[in-house]
Amino acid sequence: MPTSRARGQYAKGAERREQIIQTATDVFATEGFEGTALKRVAELVGVKEATLFHYFKGKQELLTAVLAERDRRSIAVSGQDDVGLSLMAPIAERNVREPGLTTLYAVASATANDPGHDSHAYFKERYEAVVRDIAADIERRQASGDVRTDVDSVMLARLTVAAFDGLQLQWLYDKDVDMADGLRQLIDVLLAPAHRTE
């Protein structure tokens, strides 16, 4: 049975880990995640850079925790329990304000396809959850006649997610690309009921 001292140390360790995640998320959002970002995180937390990895197996585990925190914040700000069509444009707008995290997401998602990669499970589960949530939203809209029914809801969800990722990648190279407006237009055209597209 763990002693109260052991429980206290565990709680303190968990609290410090959470502090590192929160601080890293804030730093990476504005300063990116390359170069001196980890040193800056350590300074703000009040530890040496090497101490960060007492709480994480390595840099990739910390980066994955930051991306999970980014997702949690998005949902918390929206006040909803899942991601639906109405959240796509606001999330894109938030991504523009957090270029460091957006770049981190793009880089990490492109390199984590190997099942042995530390972030592979995170991205696999994330894509499954996002497609599931958007497909459920589309199904509700199909039932009310707001969205076309001649294409499967899961396929429409996948196409919407693909467009989001594609617009985001283009934005990383050209900041004049308006991700949010592009998503609004895509949703209006792609998901329009069949009688509106004729």
Per-residue pLDDT of the chain (198 residues), as tens digits, is 555 555 566 677 789 999 999 998 888 888 877 767 888 899 999 999 888 888 988 888 888 999 999 888 877 766 666 678 988 999 999 899 989 889 889 988 988 999 988 889 999 999 999 999 999 999 999 999 999 999 999 999 999 999 999 999 999 999 999 999 999 999 999 888 866 544
Buried b (16+ CB within 10 A) or exposed e, 155-176: ebbbebbebbeebbeebeeeee
pLDDT at residue 81 in the model: 63
pLDDT at residue 125 in the model: 94
pLDDT at residue 31 in the model: 82
CATH of the domain at 162: 1.10.357.10
pLDDT at residue 198 in the model: 46
Contact status, residue 35 vs residue 90, Cβ threshold 8 Å: no
pLDDT at residue 197 in the model: 47
pLDDT at residue 192 in the model: 86
Kindly state the DSSP code that residue 123 receives in the 8-state scheme. Answer: H
Kindly state the DSSP code that residue 148 receives in the 8-state scheme. Answer: -
Secondary structure E strands in 27-110: none
Kindly state the DSSP code that residue 146 receives in the 8-state scheme. Answer: S
Q: How many domains does the chain have?
A: 1
Domain carrying residue 172:
4-197
Looking up tokens 């918390």 gives 76
Buried b (16+ CB within 10 A) or exposed e, 118-146: bbeebbeebeeebbebbbbbbbebbeeee
